[in-house]
């Protein structure tokens, strides 16, 4: 027994030594395919801070996992606009002073005083973009500037449509199509929405979010909901794909890097936020993810084709995009029920 205790003691000592010797750490919780590994390596090379990254595929999954594992395991996450409000209400966000970030002034004016984080007290802008859909022009050459493509498709596209497997975005997009509020309590509106979706589903091939690019690029489907940057990547693999800014409206979102409450490595997290606000870094992320950065001075580092890419430049007559809204609990329950009904 004494031998065992000595052994344990030795093991514990080795472990504590190892911990002291190891470099500073930073744990981030990020979307899939949203930051190039080279950037993380570069950050480690610059600061000596080792970065560990886990990934998620929807805002809801992020929230669910933080709730299940509790705070204190991650330093930074990358929620979208509406989810930042929800996370603040849940008490999941820490705040910082603008003076704690050297590059705070690099934040673009339009992303500084935003409704979801006035004056940027918990977050810094990451990338922003839109949610709409793409059509394979080889399969369908008619008008695609309408969400009928998804919800009331022409004959050529029937059975060849993918929609995002996230209740929030898909239902909000459907609400825009029907011209009803995103958080409606109106019985007839909701029944119509539910009936419309169930009818449209007959023409859908699949529900897929993280594979939204793949199913389009491979030709599994001829039309599919997608985020604009992900769509640009799909077009790089299949040139006949075209992103649409439908006349009924489309969704916009702005992802931010938020400082999580009880972050185990708060200093490292702030250093990383500073890093993300470097124009060169933000541009590198844009070049990789094909969205749009919210940081000043990125232009000179951007890929040339991004400046004119159809995914990032809505046509002049396109309507403005709409942010996803946060519904009250009892309203949200109705939308959850509609989603379950849709996928039953």
Partner 1 sequence: MAGIIKKTGDSAKSADGTQTSIVDGRQHLLLLPAWLIIGVLLVIPVLLMLTYSFLVQDFRGGVIWEFSLEAYDQFFFDRGLFGDEPPSIEWTYIGIFWRSFVQALFAMIFCFLIGFPTAYFIATRPQKSRAFWLFLVTIPYWVNLLIRTVSMKFLIRDNGPINTWLLSGGIIDEPIGMINTSFAIQLGLFYSYLPFMVLPIYASIERYNFALSEAAADLYSSRWMTLFKIVIPSVRPGIIAGCILVFIPSLGAFLAPDLLGGAKNFMIGSLVEEQFKGQAGDWPFGAAVSMILLSIIMVILLFYARAQIRQNDGGH
- Contact positions vs partner 1 (CB under 8 A): 58, 60-61, 63-65, 67-68, 86, 90, 159, 162, 165-168, 187, 190-191, 194, 201, 204-208, 211, 218-220, 329, 332, 334-341, 343-344
Distance (Å, whole) CA 56 – CA 299: 29
211 or 297: CB nearest partner 1: 211
87 or 293: CB nearest partner 1: 87
In a 3-state reduction of DSSP, which class is residue 129?
Answer: strand
In a 3-state reduction of DSSP, which class is residue 54?
Answer: strand
26 or 167: CB nearest partner 1: 167
Q: How near is the Cβ of 62 to partner 1 at its closest, in Å?
A: 10
86 or 178: CB nearest partner 1: 86
Q: How near is the Cβ of 328 to partner 1 at its closest, in Å?
A: 9
Distance (Å, whole) CA 171 – CA 184: 11
35 or 167: CB nearest partner 1: 167
Q: How near is the Cβ of 91 to partner 1 at its closest, in Å?
A: 12
Retrieve residue 145's tokens: 């500037």
C-alpha dist (Å) from residue 153 to 145, 150, 160, 223:
12, 6, 10, 9
DSSP for 4-45, please give it. HHHHHHHHHHHHHHHHHHSPPEEEEEEETT-S-HHHHHHHHH
What are the b/e assignments for 329-342, b being 16+ CB within 10 Å? eebeebbeebbeeb
89 or 267: CB nearest partner 1: 89
Question: Considering only CA atoms, which of 326, 330, 329, 327 is closest in space to residue 80?
Answer: 326
* C-alpha torsion sign, points 230, 234, 235, 241: negative
Strand (E) positions, 58-171?
76-77, 113-114, 117-118, 123-136, 161-163
Query: Facing residues of 209 across strands?
Result: none
Q: How near is the Cβ of 6 to partner 1 at its closest, in Å?
A: 22
Q: How near is the Cβ of 178 to partner 1 at its closest, in Å?
A: 16
Q: How near is the Cβ of 293 to partner 1 at its closest, in Å?
A: 28
21 or 68: CB nearest partner 1: 68
Q: How near is the Cβ of 211 to partner 1 at its closest, in Å?
A: 8
Strand (E) positions, 220-283?
223-227, 241-244, 251-259
């Amino acid at each position: 027994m004494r031998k065992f205790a000595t052994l344990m003691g030795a093991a514990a000592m080795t472990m504590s030594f190892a911990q002291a010797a190891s470099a500073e750490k930073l744990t981030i919780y990020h979307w899939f395919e949203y930051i190039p590994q080279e950037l993380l390596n570069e950050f480690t090379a610059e600061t000596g801070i080792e970065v560990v990254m886990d990934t998620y595929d929807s805002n809801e999954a992020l929230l669910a996992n933080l709730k299940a594992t509790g705070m204190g395991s991650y330093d930074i996450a990358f929620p979208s606009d509406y989810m930042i409000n929800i996370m603040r209400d849940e008490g999941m966000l820490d705040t910082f002073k603008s003076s704690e970030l050297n590059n705070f002034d690099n934040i673009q004016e339009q992303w500084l005083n935003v409704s979801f984080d006035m004056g940027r007290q918990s977050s810094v802008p990451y990338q922003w973009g839109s949610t709409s859909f793409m059509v394979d022009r080889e399969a369908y050459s008619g008008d695609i500037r309408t969400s009928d493509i998804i919800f009331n498709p022409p004959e050529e596209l029937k059975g060849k449509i993918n929609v995002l497997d996230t209740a929030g975005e898909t239902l909000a997009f459907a609400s825009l199509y029907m011209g009803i509020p995103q958080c409606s309590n109106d019985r007839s509106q909701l029944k119509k929405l539910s009936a419309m979706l169930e009818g449209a589903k007959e023409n859908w091939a699949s529900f897929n979010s993280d594979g939204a690019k793949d199913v389009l690029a491979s030709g599994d489907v001829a039309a599919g909901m997608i985020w604009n940057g992900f769509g640009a990547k799909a077009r790089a693999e299949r040139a006949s794909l075209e992103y649409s800014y439908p006349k009924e409206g489309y969704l916009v979102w702005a992802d931010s890097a938020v400082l999580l409450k009880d972050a185990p490595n708060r200093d490292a997290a702030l250093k990383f936020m500073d890093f993300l606000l470097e124009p060169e870094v933000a541009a590198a992320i844009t070049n990789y993810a094909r969205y749009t950065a919210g940081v000043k001075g990125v232009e000179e580092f951007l890929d040339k084709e991004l400046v004119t890419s159809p995914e990032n430049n809505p046509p002049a007559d396109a309507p403005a995009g709409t942010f996803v809204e946060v519904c009250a609990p009892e309203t949200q329950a109705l939308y959850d029920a509609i989603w379950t009904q849709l996928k039953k």
